[in-house]
């Protein structure tokens, strides 16, 4: 004899509810895993960008900056994505810095300088990089490192909103005095 349909309904309902419950638990597990991974990457990025060991502020006494804090990067640690612009000193690329041993990709600007003509020019570039690395100001783009290949490459934070000068030129009629004053104060700090 075949069992009646009414006796199967509770077992079917229990199976459906159990299956849905399993799907919800698996979905929550995956969501928590992805969230945790995102938080870890974000913390790693923040730590790398705010690492105090990389730079020391300039001293008002006029002493030379601590040159040991300039980070020398390998060319394999970063990747050029696209050209942002070029000028008299070289070409600027949007790129990604992937520090060795880290699982994070940091958006950076890679300033590839034109070939230096003399050892003296190379020394001047390095001296300037040492000074740039020692500047720690929230309103100044930080020098994250330098790559010494056939052409010197300076690696800085990528400013996501682009060049301030271009913005000012495009919107000069719409920028009020309060914005200009705020920028002046930020630059003077």
Residues 48, 108 contacting (CB under 8 angstroms): no
79 is in an annotated binding site: no
User: Which one-letter DSSP state was computed for residue 151?
Assistant: S
What the chain holds in terms of domains, given with CATH numbers, is 67-158 (3.30.200.20)
* 94 alpha carbon, distance to own chain's centre: 11
Name which of 139, 72, 133, 141 is nearest 109 in CA terms: 141
Give strand pairing partners of 145.
155
| Alpha-carbon dihedral 89, 94, 99, 102, rounded to 10 degrees | 170
Residues 119, 112 contacting (CB under 8 angstroms): no
Separation CA 189–CA 14 (nearest Å)? 67
What is the per-residue pLDDT for 36? Answer: 92
pLDDT digits (tens, 9 = 90+) for 76-117: 888 999 998 888 778 889 999 888 888 888 889 998 887 755
User: Which one-letter DSSP state was computed for residue 161?
Assistant: T
* 111 alpha carbon, distance to own chain's centre: 15
From residue 172, give the alpha-carbon distance in Å to each of 18, 160, 177: 63, 20, 11
Instruction: Report residue 27's pLDDT band, with 50, 70 and 90 as the boundaries.
Output: very high
Tell whether pTM > 0.75: no
pLDDT digits (tens, 9 = 90+) for 118-164: 667 767 777 778 888 877 777 677 788 888 877 888 898 888 777 77
Which of 22-31, 37-46, 111-120, 145-154 is predicted with the least confidence, judged by mean pLDDT? 111-120
pLDDT digits (tens, 9 = 90+) for 6-19: 678 888 888 899 99
Considering just the CA atoms, what is the radius of gyration of the chain in Å? Answer: 27
Separation CA 152–CA 171 (nearest Å)? 34
DSSP string over 29-66: HHHHHHHHHHHHHHHHHHHHHH-TTS--PPPTT-PPP-
Helix, strand, coil shares of the chain, percent, nearest 5, are 45, 20, 35
């Amino acid at each position: 004899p075949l069992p009646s349909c009414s006796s199967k309904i509770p077992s079917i309902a229990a199976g459906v509810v159990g299956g849905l419950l399993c799907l919800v638990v698996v979905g929550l597990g995956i969501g928590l895993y992805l969230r945790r991974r995102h938080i870890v990457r974000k913390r790693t990025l923040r730590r790398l960008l705010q690492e105090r060991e990389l730079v020391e502020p300039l001293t008002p006494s006029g002493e030379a900056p601590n040159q040991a804090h300039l980070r020398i990067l390998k060319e394999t640690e970063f990747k050029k994505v696209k050209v942002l612009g070029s000028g008299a000193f070289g070409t600027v690329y949007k790129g990604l810095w992937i520090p060795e041993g880290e699982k994070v990709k940091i958006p950076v600007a890679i300033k590839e300088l034109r070939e230096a003509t003399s050892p003296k020019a190379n020394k001047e570039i390095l001296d300037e990089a040492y000074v740039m690395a020692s500047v720690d100001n929230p309103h100044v783009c930080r020098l994250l490192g330098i790559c010494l290949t056939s052409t010197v490459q300076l690696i800085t934070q990528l400013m996501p909103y682009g060049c301030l000068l271009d913005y000012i030129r495009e919107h000069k009629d719409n920028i009020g005095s309060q914005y200009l004053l705020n920028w002046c104060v930020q630059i003077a700090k």
